[in-house]
A and B are shown apart, each in its own frame.
Chain A
Amino acid sequence: MPSARRLWDRYRSASPITIALLALVLGLVVGAVIIIATTPAILNAWRGTFHSWGAPGHALKVTFDNVGAAYRSIFTGSIVDPPQFWHSVTTGRGWTASLTPLSETLTYAVPLVIASIAVGITFQTGLFNIGANGQAILGGIAGVAVATLVHLPMALHLPLTLLAGIAGGVVGGAIPGLLKAYTGAHEVIVTLMFNYVASYFMLFTLLSTPLQLPNQTNAISRTMPGGTQLAPLFGTSSGLRVNYGIVVALAVTLFAIWLLDRSSIGFEFRMTGANPHAARASGINARRTLVISFLISGGLAGLAGVAWVAGTTHYIDQNFLQGSAGIGFTAITVALLGRNRPIGIVWGSLLFAALEVGGSNMQANTGIPYDLATVIQSAIVIFVATPVLVKEIFRLRALRAESVKVATAGWGS
Chain B
Amino acid sequence: MRLELRGITKKFGSLTANDHIDLIVEPGQIHCLLGENGAGKSTLMNVLFGLLQADEGEILIDGEPVRLANSGDAVRRGIGMVHQHFMLVPVFSVAENVVLGFEPTRSLDRLDYARARENIRSVSREFGLEVDPDATVESLPIGLQQRVEIIKALSHDAQLLILDEPTAVLTPQEADALMAIMRSLAASGKSILFISHKLKEVRQVSDVITVIRSGRVIGSVPPTASENELAAMMVGREVSLVVQKSAATPREPVLEVRDLVVRDDRGLAVVDGVSLEVHAGEIVALAGVQGNGQTELVEAITGLRHVESGSVVLAGRDITNHSPREILDAGLGHIPEDRQRDGVVLSMSVADNMVLNTPRRAPFARHGTRNLRAVRDHAETLVESFDVRTSSVEAPLSSLSGGNQQKVIVARELSRPLEVLVASQPTRGLDVGSIEYVHREIVRVRDDGHAVLIVSSELDEVMALGDRVAVMFQGRITGIVDPSTSREDVGLLMAGSAPAGTR
Contacts and interface: CB of A to CB of B under 8 A. Distances in A.
B42 interface: yes
B359 A267 contact: yes
A37 interface: no
Interface in B294-332: 302, 304, 323-329
A281 B370 contact: no
B43 A275 contact: no
Given A262-B372, A268-B359, A401-B13, A413 B342 contact: no
Interface in B101-117: none
Contact of B304 (A280, A405, A413): A280
Contact of A274 (B326, B338, B348, B372): B348
Interface stretch (B230-238, B394-402, B437-445, B491-499): B394-402
Given A262-B369, A278-B342, A402 B348 contact: no
A391 interface: no
A82 B11 CA distance: 52
Interface string A241-283: 0000000000000000010001111011011001101111111
B153 to A, nearest CB: 20
Contacts of B359: 264, 267-268
Given A271-B348, A413-B42, A278 B343 contact: yes
Interface string B358-379: 0110000100111010000000
B266 interface: no
Interface stretch (B21-29, B33-41, B448-456): B33-41
A325 to B, nearest CB: 35
A183 interface: no
Contacts of B398: 406, 409-410
Interface in B333-385: 334, 336, 338, 340-348, 352, 356-357, 359-360, 365, 368-370, 372
Contacts of B346: 274-275, 410
Contacts of B43: 408, 413
A413 B37 contact: yes
B17 interface: yes
Contacts of B342: 277-278, 280-281
B368 A264 contact: yes
B12 A275 contact: no
B15 interface: yes
Nearest to B164: A412
Given A267-B359, A281-B304, A275 B323 contact: no
B42 A412 contact: yes
A285 to B, nearest CB: 7
Contacts of A404: 12-13
B250 interface: no
B483 interface: no
Contact of B328 (A263, A277, A278, A283): A283
A411 interface: yes
Most buried by B among A271, A274, A280, A411: A411
Interface in B433-477: none
A267 B352 contact: yes
Contact of B356 (A271, A401, A402, A409): A271
Interface in A309-357: none
Nearest to A267: B359
A402 B15 CA distance: 10
A406 B396 CA distance: 10
Contact of B336 (A262, A281, A405, A413): A281
A268 B336 CA distance: 19
Interface residues of B, number: 51
Contact of B41 (A282, A409, A413): A413
B429 interface: yes
Contact of B344 (A267, A268, A275, A406): A275
Contacts of A264: 359-360, 365, 368-370
A300 to B, nearest CB: 18
Interface residues of A, number: 31
Contacts of B11: 401
A281 B343 contact: yes
A237 to B, nearest CB: 43
A180 to B, nearest CB: 19
**Interface hub of A274, A279, A404, A408 (most chain B Cβ within 10 A):** A408
A120 to B, nearest CB: 16
B356 A282 contact: yes
A262 B401 CA distance: 28
B341 A405 contact: no
B368 A411 contact: no
Given A263-B368, A283-B325, A271 B37 contact: no
Contacts of B402: 409-411
Contact of B325 (A285, A405, A412): A285
A264 B323 CA distance: 19
Nearest to B17: A408
Contacts of A412: 37, 42, 84
Contact of B401 (A265, A401, A409): A409
A263 B369 contact: yes
Given A411-B402, A411-B429, A282 B369 contact: no
B129 to A, nearest CB: 27
A278 B344 contact: yes
B368 A265 contact: yes
A69 B13 CA distance: 44
Interface string B44-62: 0000000000000000000
Contacts of A268: 359
Contacts of A278: 341-345, 356
A412 to B, nearest CB: 6
Contacts of B17: 408, 413
A326 to B, nearest CB: 31
Most buried by A among B40, B343, B345, B400: B345
Interface in B205-230: none
Contacts of B372: 262
A380 to B, nearest CB: 24
A156 to B, nearest CB: 27
Contacts of B329: 283
Contacts of B341: 275, 277-278
A264 B375 CA distance: 12
A405 B42 CA distance: 13
Interface in A380-413: 401-402, 404-406, 408-413
Nearest to A401: B13
Contact of B13 (A263, A405, A410): A405
B410 to A, nearest CB: 15
Interface string B388-417: 000000000011111001000000000000
B300 to A, nearest CB: 13
Given A282-B357, A408-B17, A274 B334 contact: no
A404 B359 CA distance: 31
Contacts of B336: 281
B38 A408 contact: yes
B79 to A, nearest CB: 20
A321 to B, nearest CB: 32
B442 to A, nearest CB: 19
Nearest to A406: B398
A411 B368 CA distance: 35
B328 A270 contact: no
Interface of B: 11-13, 15, 17, 37-43, 84, 302, 304, 323-329, 334, 336, 338, 340-348, 352, 356-357, 359-360, 365, 368-370, 372, 398-402, 405, 429
6 contacts: A281-B302, A281-B343, A283-B324, A283-B326, A408-B38, A410-B402
Interface of A: 258, 262-265, 267-268, 270-271, 274-275, 277-285, 401-402, 404-406, 408-413
Query: 7 closest pairs, A vs B, by CB?
Result: A283-B325, A282-B357, A281-B342, A401-B13, A283-B324, A275-B345, A264-B365
Given A278-B343, A282-B356, A282-B357, 12 more contacts: A262-B369, A274-B348, A277-B342, A278-B341, A278-B342, A282-B324, A283-B357, A402-B13, A404-B13, A411-B402, A412-B84, A413-B39
